[in-house]
Amino acid sequence: MTAHESTEAKKNGNPDSTGEVLLTSDADGVRTLTLNRPRAYNSLTVELKERLLTALKEAAEDDTVRAVVLTGAGKAFCAGQDLKEHIGMLRSGDPAPLNTVSQHYNPIVTAIVDMPKPVIAAVNGSAAGAGAAFAYACDLRIAAASASFNMAFAGVGLGPDSGASWTLQRLVGYGKAVELMMLGHKVDSTEALRLGLVGEVVPDDEFADRVRTVAATLAAGPTRAYAKIKSTVARAAECSLAEALAAEDAAQTELGGTTDHSEAVEAFVEKRRPNFTGK
């Protein structure tokens, strides 16, 4: 949130009074994208989806951004599709609801997965449907103790979207992924940690500080190495051992010529902490 947005929000007395459905803030190489429809549990309207996609693309292209945090305002992370907008369009005969997967959800998840820098899902509350799927697509998931996850698609007569069919089974296994999608029961933060949906669960009053610490650590790290970690692991999940080894070789050859690698080696020899620049 910019200083102007913050002033306006305080003036009007609520976090979404600016009319901005997505808030963007930068600090120490970390760009935080906050879904800002708290009264609607940050459910996804066409406007919010378009704003989020644009913001993700901008973050990917901005060299000053070395880590991205995706979170929600208020008590929810994201409730998924805004069904009030959805049903209104269906009743009017508008074809837009049937095209939103290809026009919005698929590009958003692709932008998260292909982001050439770490993406953290800071799951501050309930995450359902596409909202949960966005979190699954991120590289790290930190959950507040009050967070929960719900694959709500079957409950509204739909199948998974936003990459959930691809990401969820990679996190919890095929059988558990199908179970979560078919039964659609809510998974609280304790079970989410046990299943591997999240990497850590933090007490609510410590959540914001923990997210800032992890994000700042990543933003101060070897950004290009992180990008290669993402791409080589994704490649290895879908190829033979020989192809994975070749991808690792190519990545190491490229990274060996980076400033960050040279700095890390120098720092090791000199017994000091490396100063990574992301180059």
- Residues marked as catalytic: 104, 161
Question: Measured in whole angstroms, how far is the alpha carbon of residue 181 from the centre of its chain?
Answer: 20
Is the distance from CB of 140 to CB of 118 less than 8 angstroms? Answer: yes
CA end-to-end span of the chain, whole Å? 28
Q: How many helices and strands in the chain, by DSSP H and E?
A: 13, 10
Between strands 119-123 and 67-72, the pairing is parallel
Residue 13: count of CB within 10 angstroms of its CB: 7
| Buried-exposed string 113-133: b where 16+ CB fall within 10 A, e elsewhere | bebbbbbbbbbbbbbbbbbbb
Is 147 within 8 Å of 127 (Cβ atoms)? yes
| Amino acid at site 49 | K
